[in-house]
Amino acid sequence: MKITIKVHHDEILEKKYLPVYLLIKKNKWHWQGIGAGMALGGGLSCPIIGAGLDLLVSYTRLGYERPALHKISIIFYVMTVPLLMLGSHFIDLLEKKALDLSPVEANSINQTIGKLELQAKTEDC
């Protein structure tokens, strides 16, 4: 006899990251949130820019006339990993800050989570 347990992955992730989300929502212009957004955005856009420059250098004569463009495309490729690591560091700082909340802030977040769970239950019915 097989027992199948259905787990909603979105609900687990939502409960895990909800305190961080609420902390970002409360402090929108805090340096950890801005740093995470900029570093992750840069880490995701660097390979795209590097690929564009690499295509430009490869399929035109710019590679022979301006070899610096090829070096710049390689720099964009190499900068991807450090930027993603920096963004994940800032997210870790946000999670640590979410764990170090004062009791009043933690109670406020728990009340918000309870309200969201109640809304989800009433929507399911």
How confident is the prediction along the chain (125 residues), in pLDDT tens digits per residue?
454 444 454 554 566 666 666 666 666 777 888 888 899 899 999 999 999 988 888 888 776 777 888 899 999 999 999 999 999 998 888 777 766 666 666 666 666 666 666 665 665 55
Integer Cα distance of 33 and 22 in angstroms: 12
Flag whether the pTM goes above 0.85.
Answer: no
Integer Cα distance of 77 and 100 in angstroms: 36
Integer Cα distance of 63 and 54 in angstroms: 9
Percentage of the chain beyond pLDDT 70 is 54
**Predicted pLDDT of residue 16:** 65
32 CB-near residues (< 8 Å, 6+ apart): 90, 93, 94, 97
* CB 57, CB 63: distance < 8 Å: yes
**Predicted pLDDT of residue 103:** 64
pLDDT tens across 8-29, in order?
A: 545 545 666 666 666 666 667 7
Alpha helix (H) ranges present in the chain?
Answer: 9-26, 31-59, 62-65, 68-78, 80-99, 103-124
**Predicted pLDDT of residue 50:** 93
N- to C-terminal Cα distance for the chain? 30
Integer Cα distance of 97 and 79 in angstroms: 27
